[in-house]
Amino acid sequence: MKLSRSFITPLITIIFLAVALSGLLMFFHIFDGYTEVVHEILGVIFVVFSVLHVILNWKALKIHFKKRVFILSTIVVAVISILLVIQQQKSPKFDTILIERITNAPIEDVLKVLQVDSIVVVKRLEENGISFIEGASMEEIWINNKVSPKKLFDLIIE
């Protein structure tokens, strides 16, 4: 199937609307936990098809790239993005703080907070070739055992 403007343009329009809607739902914490995966996956698909859209429309878009408004828009978006990153670093979101503290806390404390049976978890970790010394943090455990943080967490809450 040959990609054409008549296929790509409506597709990225619909994907844009879905990504925009899921972004708004995430922003206002509506259907938390469900919208994030939609937003992330469709966001990747949006990027792929947007690149195809730019390729198909390169000749026409080159004219816009040379205009002053394009350069000003690029600068404004870059400045806003940088300011948002700085703001996030100075005042991280609750879940960012929580995840950081859990990953750096001693594993025994993490198991208590997650309300899981430490004996069962230690056995499960050992069965999966994951060892640790008492007082080690989750981060130390995944680094020393060369496993992903997600795999370690999944084994703990399984």
- The pLDDT-based confidence of 5 (bands split at 50, 70, 90) is confident
Q: Is the pLDDT of residue 82 over 60?
A: yes
Q: Is the pLDDT of residue 3 over 80?
A: no
- The pLDDT-based confidence of 1 (bands split at 50, 70, 90) is low
**DSSP conformation class of 137:** B
Q: What is the pLDDT of residue 158?
A: 86
117 touches 95 (CB < 8 A): no
Query: What radius of gyration do the chain's Cα atoms show?
Result: 23
